[in-house]
Every structure is written in C-alpha cells, then in structure tokens.
Amino acid sequence: MNPKDDKRSAQYSSPVCVHNPHLDDLKDDILYHFSLGTGTHDLPAMFGDVKFVCVGGSPWRMKSFVEYIAAELALEDPKSEYPNICAGTDRYAMYKVGPVLSVSHGMGIPSIAIMLHELIKLLHHAHCTDVTIIRIGTSGGIGLEPGTVVVTKQSVDATFLPKFEQVILGKTVVRNTDLDESLAEELLQCSKELNQFKTVIGNTMCTLDFYEGQARLDGAFCSYTEKNKQDYLMKAKEAEVCNIEMESSVFASMCKLSGLRAAVVCVTLLDRLKGDQLTSSHEVLRNYQQRPQILVGYYIKKQLKAKAGNH
C-alpha cells in the first residue's frame, strides 16, 4: 500500500462512534466488566488493528472461535495459546488474533448490552476504523430443519415489530433494530460458496425470557396450552420469523447507533414447532454450533484476501 492509498482509505474510513459528551470529562475510563481501562491499558496498541469482532453467549465457544479463525487465517503457529484478555474478571471472556476480536456476552439483552457499551468504548478509545461485528449464536428455529443457519434480516420483538425499547430515566425510548442488509447478503453468498449446510435470511424474534417468553411448555411455570403455543409460533412464522433468540434487538440497535456494520448469524438447534427440549446428542449440537463459526470464518478470510489483493 503506498502513502496515497493510505490517505485515500483514511478519508473514507468509518470510526466507531460513541454518543456521550460526558466521556471527554473522564480522566480515565474504566471498562469495569472487562477489567480494562484507559488509565491501565494502552488500548490503541492492544486493539487498534481490530477489523472484525465476533460475539457470542458462551465463553467456551468464543475461545474455540479464536482458535478456529487463527488456524483458518494461518496467522500464527496453530499451537499458539490465546490468553483471555479479560482474565481479571469472570463477567466476559475476550480473545484476539490479528484483526479478529472474539468476545463472550452471556445470555440475554442486559448482559450483551453491558458488554456492548464497554466494547464500543474500547473500539472508540483504540481509534479502530471500518469494524464489522457479527453475533454468532444459537437459537430455536420455526419450521426449519435443525442445524439450519439463519442470517437475521430484521430483529423483531415478541409482538413481531422491528424495535427495541430502551428505558432511560424511567421513560421508554424506541430504537431501530436494522442490520446491515449488504452484509447479510454477503454472508448468504459465502454459505453458497461453502456449500456445507443450509443458510437462510429471515427475521429473528428477540425475547427477554427463554421459557414463557418463547412459548415453551417445559419451564417451571406454564399457563397456556400446546395449541396456544402453536398459534403464537404460527403468527411469528407469518411475520417471517425464522428463529428466536435473546440478544439480537439490542445488538442491532447499539451497533447501528455506533456506526458498526453488523450481522446476526445463529444456528437453529431445534424446530420449536416440534418441541421445546434440546434432546439432540451433545455431538450433534456441537456440530450445529460450529456452523456460524465456519460461515463467519469463511467470510473474514474472503474479506482479508480481497483487501490484500487490492493493495
């Protein structure tokens, strides 16, 4: 890359935006749930080269993802160990290899929201540009063969509306849950090229609860019938909902606010029209859970190859 190219790409580079004038008044910014901070860590040196962030609920899965992507990109000795950058806390786990950051977010909207506030500040403090962020997760499918991967078109709430309600000072503010359409299409194209498993684009319902909130019949409490459940899930299907999970709405709204190019890629572990419990063997479930990793790994590799070719 010559200096001219560098200048040109810098002109068009997109920063990670915070929207908080108070941050300028902070001497140090402590990212408490990461056990990191601007006063204790050189964030630009540690994270300035990050171009892809992958997030998922389980810390084990995010560790396995960083090992997988390192091998795929052949960036380091495959025997390398990837230390947990957030080893000072047990709230989240974070791993990095080259331009790829892998972060766990726990389960549910509040848990991923805490992580995203601190991640967005981290990327901002590190002066990262042109960052793509992808949630790789698990979900319940509606009318899909288990193991199908769903790339989210729109994240909708429990009434099938594409919105996220954020409570601020006791008042509800409605936020948009749009995701990057071109990124979703690029991921679908990657799946076609890979040709290893079925991938679809569809709406994703994001709920605050796994049992009653998703019309399951197997929670500690259930006041509705099998027919009520089927009726509700069929209404969801009519609203083009392909799968149900618990983080996509706040993920979409926060990434949009901060200017991050974002996608949600979740595998379906079961067909909720046929059951509620995860009865598949651990081996089958493990295989399913690798699919979003394989798809996103392929996408990142393709992007990096294209970029290297351009220079």
The string of DSSP letters for 147-168 reads T-EEEEEEEE-TTS-SEEEEEE
- Of 72-80, 127-135, 251-259, 293-301, the segment contacting a second copy by CB under 8 A is 251-259
| Number of residues assigned to the chain | 311
Asked if residue 86 lies in contact with residue 52, where contact means CB atoms within 8 angstroms, the answer is no
Q: Which is nearer to a second copy, 199 or 268 (CB)?
A: 268
Q: Which is nearer to a second copy, 103 or 190 (CB)?
A: 103
**How many residues contact a second copy, by CB under 8 A?**
66
Nearest to 35 by CA among 92, 82, 81, 83: 92
- Contacting residue, 46, 71, 217, 273, with a second copy by CB under 8 A: 217
Indicate whether 109 belongs to the interface with a second copy (CB under 8 A).
Answer: yes
Indicate whether 232 belongs to the interface with a second copy (CB under 8 A).
Answer: yes
Indicate whether 19 belongs to the interface with a second copy (CB under 8 A).
Answer: yes
Encoded one letter per residue, x for contact with a second copy by CB under 8 A and - for no contact, window 186-215 reads: ---------------------xxxxxxx-x
Q: How far is CA 111 from CA 72, 105, 115, in A?
A: 30, 6, 7
Nearest to 267 by CA among 239, 286, 254: 286
74 CB-contact burial (10 Å; exposed 0-12 / middle 13-18 / buried 19+): exposed
Encoded one letter per residue, x for contact with a second copy by CB under 8 A and - for no contact, window 135-174 reads: -----------------------xxx-----xxxxx----
- Contacting residue, 24, 81, 218, 283, with a second copy by CB under 8 A: 218
Indicate whether 60 belongs to the interface with a second copy (CB under 8 A).
Answer: yes
Indicate whether 108 belongs to the interface with a second copy (CB under 8 A).
Answer: yes
The nearest distance, CB 65 to a second copy, in angstroms, is 13
Tokens of 99: 């331009």
- Of 20-28, 48-56, 289-297, 298-306, the segment contacting a second copy by CB under 8 A is 20-28
CA 47 to CA 99: how far, in whole Å? 8
The string of DSSP letters for 180-211 reads -HHHHHHHHHHHHHH-SS-EEEEEEEE-S-SS
The nearest distance, CB 222 to a second copy, in angstroms, is 4
Indicate whether 298 belongs to the interface with a second copy (CB under 8 A).
Answer: no
CB atoms inside a 10 Å sphere around CB 26: 12
- Interior angle at CA 275, CA 214 and CA 252, nearest 5: 35
The nearest distance, CB 192 to a second copy, in angstroms, is 32
Positions that interact with a second copy (CB under 8 A): 18-23, 26, 29-30, 32, 57-60, 90-91, 106-111, 113-114, 116-118, 120-121, 124, 158-160, 166-170, 207-213, 215, 217-224, 226, 228-229, 232, 235, 246, 254, 257-258, 277-279
